[in-house]
A = this chain, B = another copy of it.
Amino acid sequence: MKTQEDVEEFILHGHREYVPHVSLDCAIFGYHEQQLKLLLITYPALDGWCLPGGYIKRTEKLIEAANRNVKERTGVDNLFLEQFKTFGDPDRAKLSNFDEDAWFKMTGVRLTDDNWLIDQTFSIGFYAITDFSKTNLQTDYLIMKCAWFDIDNLPKLEFDHEEMVREALHTMRVQLYHYPIGYNLLPEKFTLSEIHALYETLLGKKLDISNFPKKLIALGLLKKLDEKRSIGAHRSPYLYTFDKERYDEALKEGVVLS
């Protein structure tokens, strides 16, 4: 959505290119140096923050649409993306404070009651995780703001997006030991401390530093390398990598050691 013409076309005739009544929303988690953040956006004429989302093209597979969505906001492609739930109660998208005039000013089009965007819409929830320091946030003609928020300090969200975030977090945490989450969140080679911090942050709780590596290695997700990294005035830690083969299997099979 680059120009105002794009927007007008989308509002008036978007249902030709996109399937109406169905959208997707992405809970994109961002990790970096022991901080867990969530990407939120704002739409024109709406006060509050929302999960980034959008409609699905008639030619697209579901996962492709989710990927496109994530890429449009963050610049990052081919992230690990996983469906967690679909939302569709009739009152889920009730707008509390839609400012018609502000919308008109922004878009140049009045939203009439018969517009395809007004009708009830189901939303398929996806979640993803990326390294927020490597993203390149992009707004849009229809997306006013786009920013990372600390997961423990989220603003009030519009629609049913707070429930979505709860469900997304829960699913992500359950799947953390079973899917190749975290693959893109660490450098190619990393230390145990780094992955330990990552898992603690994602799970939001302490993990015993001694038992933690045993578990991951037992699961076969980690490979110990023969290299060390110098970190200054302390003992040099060994480096590890993810066992890519195992991870690819996991993606196909769905689960590592089910």
The chain A residues found within 8 Å of chain B, CB to CB, are 19-22, 56, 58-62, 83, 85-90, 119-120, 122, 124, 170, 174, 254, 258
Give the CA-CA distance A158 to B218 in the complex, in Å.
41
Could you tell me the distance in whole angstroms from the C-beta of A258 to the nearest C-beta in chain B? Answer: 8
Tell me if A22 and B90 are in contact (CB < 8 A).
no
Could you tell me the distance in whole angstroms from the C-beta of A117 to the nearest C-beta in chain B? Answer: 14
Could you tell me the distance in whole angstroms from the C-beta of A58 to the nearest C-beta in chain B? Answer: 6
In the assembled complex, which residues on chain B have CB atoms less than 8 Å from the CB atom of A174? Answer: 258
Could you tell me the distance in whole angstroms from the C-beta of A63 to the nearest C-beta in chain B? Answer: 9
In the assembled complex, which residues on chain B have CB atoms less than 8 Å from the CB atom of A20? Answer: 20-21
Majority secondary structure of chain A interface residues (helix, strand, loop or mixed)? mixed
Give the CA-CA distance A90 to B18 in the complex, in Å.
11
11 new A-B pairs (CB below 8 Å) besides A19-B122, A20-B20, A59-B90?
Answer: A19-B120, A21-B21, A22-B88, A58-B120, A60-B90, A61-B89, A61-B90, A62-B86, A62-B88, A83-B86, A170-B254
Say which residue of B19, B89, B122, B258 sits within 8 Å of A124 (CB atoms). Answer: B122
In the assembled complex, which residues on chain B have CB atoms less than 8 Å from the CB atom of A60? Answer: 90
In the assembled complex, which residues on chain B have CB atoms less than 8 Å from the CB atom of A22? Answer: 21-22, 88, 122
Could you tell me the distance in whole angstroms from the C-beta of A152 to the nearest C-beta in chain B? Answer: 21
Closest to A123 in B: B86
In the assembled complex, which residues on chain B have CB atoms less than 8 Å from the CB atom of A19? Answer: 21, 88, 119-120, 122
Also in contact, A85 and B88, with CB within 8 A (given A22-B21, A58-B120, A124-B122):
no
In the assembled complex, which residues on chain B have CB atoms less than 8 Å from the CB atom of A119? Answer: 19
